[in-house]
Amino acid sequence: MVKDTKQAQCGLSVGLVEKKYFTFAEPPGLMQLESGAVLGPVTIAYETYGTLAPAKDNVILVLHALSGDSHAAGYYREGEAKPGWWDVMVGPGKGIDTNKYFVICSNILGSCMGTTGPSAANPKTGKPYGLDFPMVTIGDMVDAQKALLDFMGISRLVSVIGGSIGGMQVLEWSLRYPEMVASAIPLATTPRHSALAISFNEIARQAIMADPNWRRGNYYEGDLPRTGLAVARMIGHVTYLSDEALRRKFGRRLQDKSDFSFNFDADFQVESYLRYQGSKFVDRFDANSFLYITKAADYFDLRARYGQGSLIEAFAGAKASYLVVSYTSDWLYPTYQSKEMVKAMKKNGLDVSFCEIEADCGHDAFLIPNERVTTLVRGFLQRVSVNIGK
């Protein structure tokens, strides 16, 4: 629900927004997961921006990354300092123009931002699931989003768009429900994790599980595994940046001192920065959700799921138009992985646009304002919308 505000009228923001909830998979009709397990009931937290057309044919689904949530744009209250995580892209006159499109963003399955995950109450015990929560996949996340769209009566999407793990969901949507997806915009993503990406995720998971407060996921009634989760976030955060970004921002500058401490204090500014990022993260995110979502990302593999080992074969059933965007300094999901996807798409005769954006800030570049990306997305959506109308 979007309410009129001066900000919305000025085109600066969608204004005040409201988080909503949808629950499905009530017993006995539980949700079937790819692992073979079942889950239910399942609650999905979501937000919407813009106005749904009478024919429900102006819908764009925005998909968030690992630690994101349904709050993609706007503000929850007047005077709030920080808007939604993609406010630079979603709003009146922006790349995803809410004067034209009805935008939906939901929190992913397994998360801790309003959607059912390991911190949610297990209906069998009344206590948080912990490790009794079943393993979920990117496909399961997409199936949960599909249930939400079915509830809303939406059978066709102008586009699905997202970066990083959100980009994995974009790709999954385009192959899992090809008849629903007119276009797809995967940003800074990959068709499957490299050994390097899996390695960083495993190190982060081990940091959490080595924390004595983790207690095999049963920490909700006691002390949280704050140290382990903070270290996991520090590891992940480094992979989102680049050598140049860290050099420019910190170099080897010392933190509030003129010489080394000759102990294990945070001597360097970059050490202090990472410790701050870690401590801030534990106040808003659940350690078990971090474990589950990173594992889902590691399991993601379009070749194995749809192509019997072939990426070309994986895209054989796709029908969407694609805009694939990569970033020059993204060493977590480097450009060669996007080019592999583009090649496979073209081999299948699909409508594909590709752009490698010059950016020195690393993987997180897709979250940073970039006029070229905004222009690309706006133009691509306009072209797709015209083609849909033909």
Q: CA 243, CA 235: separation in Å to the nearest integer? A: 14
364 is catalytic: no
Counting every residue written for the chain, the total comes to 390
Residue of 289, 363, 364, 385 marked active site: 363
Q: Within a 10 A sphere around the Cβ of 319, how many other Cβ atoms?
A: 17
Cα–Cα dist 356/335, whole Å: 7
Look up residue 29 and give its amino acid: G
Q: Two tokens at 367?
A: 């979250």
The DSSP-derived string for 79-113 is: T-S---TTTTTEETTSSEETTT-EEEEEPPTT-SS
Helical pair 287-299 and 195-210, crossing angle rounded to 10 deg: 160
322 in Cβ contact with 171 (< 8 Å): no
Distance CA 107, CA 347 (A): 34
In degrees and rounded to multiples of 5, residue 368 shows phi and psi of: -95, 140
* Annotation says 330 is catalytic: yes
3-class DSSP assignment, residue 147: helix
Question: What is the rounded CA–CA span in Å between residue 69 and residue 111?
Answer: 8
Of the candidates 164, 183, 289, 338, the residue annotated as catalytic is 164
205 contacts 291 by C-beta, under 8 angstroms: yes
**Cα dihedral 233/234/239/240 (nearest 10):** 70
3-state helix vs strand vs coil in the chain, percent to 5: 40, 15, 45
Look-up: residue for tokens 């990354």?
65
Measured distance CA(167)–CA(332) in Å, rounded:
13
Instruction: Tokens for 270, please give them.
Output: 């970059």
65 φ/ψ sector (left φ>0, alpha ψ -120 to 50, else beta): beta
The catalytic position among 267, 330, 338, 385 is: 330
Number of H helices, E strands in the chain: 12, 14
Is 363 tagged catalytic? Answer: yes
Looking up tokens 């974009």 gives 170
CA distance 140 to 273: 35
Question: Looking at the annotation, which residues are catalytic?
Answer: 164, 330, 363
